[in-house]
Amino acid sequence: MKERSRIKEEIERWEGKEKEIEEIKILEEFVKETGDQKDMDELIGRVSRLEGLISRFEIERMLSGENDRENAIVYINAGAGGTEAQDWAEMLLRMYIKWAEKEKFETQVVDLLQGEEAGIKNVTFLVKGLYAYGYLKCEVGIHRLVRVSPFDANNRRHTSFASVYAYPEISDDISIEIREEDLKIDTFRASGPGGQHVNRTESAIRITHIPTGIVVQCQNERSQHKNRAIAMAILKSRLYELEKRKQEEKLNSLNKEKKDIGWGSQIRSYILHPYKLVKDHRTKLEEHNADAVLDGEIDPFIRAYLLYLTFEQKKEDN
């Protein structure tokens, strides 16, 4: 039934685009007859929107991995650079949430550790929507920022690093055995803003899977039961990925781009001084409108990386 629902949804999406093309053709003929500028503007706008949707379908055609259609669980961790890196991690969180809003994806921060002075040390958040994981797996790796530091009284240029990692959220129909005796469950008070109830009760949950050492936590919800459910879902996803890697006899297949959070290991650089440039070191794609990228315009980088992966896969097959 789940597969049937997905196929039905895809058919409906294609039928919707076919209907849009027919309406554009009718509008085009109408504009040829009337020459009305308002109708011309509407025609141009509809063609532009359709072009964007077709481009998105082209990207989705490259998302054929087992879990590409699933929701994503994303981690951002500040690296070398102290307060600068923590501020950079928060900028990345904002970038991905802005991107998700444009894609009509739902986001939910489930765990966040604030920095001492500014920014965040790390964050875990969910991105819910069709192909969320397929898109965000392209962002896995080290992200480097170069800018004049707002925290430096001498206005010196600083380089900061943060790592991004994504897991697919595993659906309930996949069986992962988690024994209660293998879990260590701790409760604690949530940190940061959240209201009297959140901060005065031990509603936050930390779960340690003793056999693997995996630790997950959630402190965003007011209810301890909700926090536990979210934390268990994240643990299930991480255990699934661990077992999948064992079965495929691969070491860290989803994390092959992730290295030490520091020099020489970045997948992308965001340069804000002395000029503005965002460069992906895997695909060599460059974008000079760095502000737009930091506002969530990352689709060109995702598309380029998917094309790169497709090309590399064809080389391996040959």
The predicted-structure confidence for 248-296, as pLDDT tens digits, reads as follows: 554 344 445 444 555 557 999 999 999 999 999 999 999 999 999 999 9
pLDDT in tens, 92-126: 999 999 999 998 999 999 999 998 889 999 999 99
- Is 107 part of any domain? yes
- Is 274 part of any domain? yes
Quick one: 277 and 164 in the same domain?
yes
Give the number of other CB atoms < 10 A from CB of residue 193: 8
Residue 315 has pLDDT above 60, yes or no: yes
Q: Are 287 and 311 spatial neighbours (Cβ–Cβ below 8 Å)? A: no
- Is 174 part of any domain? no
End-to-end CA distance of the chain: 37
Quick one: 164 and 260 in the same domain?
yes
Q: Which residues of 45-77 are buried (b: 16+ CB within 10 A; e: fewer)?
A: ebeeeeeeeeebeebbebbeeebbbbbbbbbbb
Structural element, H or E, at residue 210 = none
Helix, strand or coil for residue 289?
coil
Quick one: 85 and 160 in the same domain?
yes
DSSP 254: G
Quick one: 235 and 196 in the same domain?
yes
Q: Interhelix angle for 299-317 vs 37-61, to 10°?
A: 40
CATH at residue 193: 3.30.160.20
On the 0-12 / 13-18 / 19+ scale of CB atoms within 10 A, 34 is exposed
DSSP 191: P
Nearest by Cα to 266 from 285, 252, 279: 279
pLDDT in tens, 136-162: 999 999 999 999 988 887 888 899 999
Number of domain units in the chain: 3
Residues 152, 130: Cα–Cα separation, whole Å: 42
- Is 116 part of any domain? yes
CATH at residue 141: 3.30.70.1660
Residues ≥6 apart with Cβ < 8 Å to 17: 50, 53, 54, 57
pLDDT in tens, 202-258: 789 999 999 999 999 998 887 888 898 999 989 988 888 787 777 655 434 444 544
Quick one: 29 and 144 in the same domain?
no
- Is 66 part of any domain? no
Residues ≥6 apart with Cβ < 8 Å to 116: 83
Query: What pLDDT shows up at residue 257?
Result: 47
Q: Which residues pair with 141 in a beta bridge?
A: 164
- Is 231 part of any domain? yes
Residue where a domain terminates, one of 14, 35, 61: 61
Give the number of other CB atoms < 10 A from CB of residue 161: 23
pLDDT in tens, 24-80: 999 999 899 888 888 899 999 999 888 878 877 888 888 878 889 899 999 999 997
- Is 173 part of any domain? no
Query: What pLDDT shows up at residue 8?
Result: 87
Query: What pLDDT shows up at residue 261?
Result: 55
Quick one: 103 and 158 in the same domain?
yes
Residue where a domain terminates, one of 38, 61, 84: 61
Show the domain range for 13. Answer: 2-61
**If you search the block for the tokens 């995996």, which residue do you land on?**
214
Quick one: 273 and 136 in the same domain?
yes
Query: What pLDDT shows up at residue 75?
Result: 95
DSSP 247: H
| The pTM of the whole model exceeds 0.75 | no
Quick one: 78 and 161 in the same domain?
yes
Query: ∠ CA(44), CA(47), CA(51), 5° rounding?
Result: 135
Query: What pLDDT shows up at residue 10?
Result: 79
Residue where a domain terminates, one of 247, 274, 289: 247
Query: What pLDDT shows up at residue 203?
Result: 83
Quick one: 188 and 112 in the same domain?
no
- Is 155 part of any domain? yes
Query: What pLDDT shows up at residue 175?
Result: 67
Quick one: 239 and 96 in the same domain?
no
Quick one: 161 and 284 in the same domain?
yes
Residues 91, 81: Cα–Cα separation, whole Å: 14
Nearest by Cα to 182 from 120, 239, 140: 239
Residues 137, 125: Cα–Cα separation, whole Å: 14
Query: What pLDDT shows up at residue 173?
Result: 58
Residue 89 has pLDDT above 80, yes or no: yes
Quick one: 220 and 241 in the same domain?
yes
